[in-house]
Amino acid sequence: MNWTLTDCTLSSEMIRKIAEIEQLIGRVEGLQFSKPIPKLRAKNRARSVRGSTGIEGNSSSVEQVEAIVRGESVALSQKEQLEIRNALDAYDSLSTFDPFSAESLLKSHGVLMGDGLMLGAGRFRTGSVEVYITETQTRVMPPWKTITPSMNAFFEYLQNSDELMLLKSVRFHFEFVNLHPFFDGNGRVARFWQTRLLMEEHPVFEFLDVESMVFERRREYYEQIRQAQESGEVGGFVLFMFEQIERSLSNLWKNSGAVFQGLEKRMDVAAPHFRDTMFSRKEYCQLFKTITPVTASRDLAGGVKTGRLVREGDKRTAVYRFI
């Protein structure tokens, strides 16, 4: 059986959502230089791990995930703790996986499902499987002999398609779940790999908590997958995932924006960015996209007054350097 990409009709709502996501990415990356502050990164990582394992039935809370990170004991089963530790290891190593390599994807499954969590971790299934699509209905997944050629086609699509990575990553997510190449851990790998694909173009995705957004709406997540499988049209699932990506970006923007309010905090951010190079007010505004030129002028004058900056030139020609 030859794999073909499930149909996806780009609606006006999907196109609008793509534009909104791209705008948010620009805001966040302009503010955070692609890497949120450490505490926020750690919180989002814990939320991602809780979300992705929680979708599969893990009962942990974000606080329990954070406790496991600190090496503290938690009131969870050994299996649940192993799922969390494995996910933490995988997400901590996210950037080391090759997003366009099936072999690398197998390694990610080995990390997520290894250490005794399941037999055959890191290997495609070699048998038939049925999955529940409702409380009473099951679906027979594609024959195991189609897995390797289908996965090769998946990665050829990722490498050669000229679609936006935002769209490709979500479509891959669905196709992967629909193929069900492993006996267990398919959803976890699909969500993990979507994140890995997205961060290839926008590194900030490494620190988002999209999985947590999906966890909050997991019933709709599974329903959108089921509808796409039955209709042969994946547009509804794509739009759903776009909405969760937008929610995660919006949260990051709101939570991180407050960090840089005030002159001293902005100075603390700007100093390691500009180092000892000269910069203009315009470049300062480009760094802090949410402030006005008037606020930038006050910041720079305040920096000179407090001795953190030196200024050369006057008015329109003025440039600054951190001492």
* Domains (range + CATH), the chain: 37-258 (1.10.3290.10), 261-322 (1.10.10.10)
User: Given this model, what pLDDT does residue 180 score?
Assistant: 96
Mean pLDDT of 276-280: 93
pLDDT confidence band for 36 (50 / 70 / 90): low
Residue-wise pLDDT for 9-28, tens only, equals: 999 999 999 999 998 888 77
Mean of pLDDT values over 39-57: 92
Q: Which pLDDT score is estimated for 128?
A: 95
Q: Does the structure show a pLDDT above 80 at 32?
A: no
Please give the mean pLDDT across all residues of the chain: 91
In tens, the pLDDT along 205-249 reads 998 999 999 999 999 999 999 999 999 999 999 999 999 999 999
Query: Which DSSP string corresponds to 8-64?
Result: ----HHHHHHHHHHHHHHHHHHHHHTT---HHHHHHHHHHHHHHHHHHTT----HHH
Low-confidence winner among 22-36, 126-140, 195-209 (lowest mean pLDDT): 22-36
Closest CA to 281 of 266, 262, 263, 294: 294
Q: How far is CA 290 from CA 107, 298, 321, in A?
A: 41, 15, 22
Helix, strand, coil tally for the chain in percent (to 5): 65, 5, 30
- In angstroms, what CA-CA distances link 230 with 6, 7, 173, 223? 11, 12, 17, 11
Higher pLDDT, 184 or 254: 184
pLDDT(193) > 60: yes
Q: Which of the two residues, 136 and 33, has the higher pLDDT score? A: 136
CB of 241 within 8 A of CB of 205?
no
**Over 70: is that where the pLDDT of 260 sits?**
no
Least confident of 59-63, 168-172, 197-201, 315-319: 315-319
Q: What is the pLDDT of residues 173-183, one digit of tens each?
A: 999 999 999 99
- The percent of residues in the chain predicted with pLDDT above 70, rounded, is 94
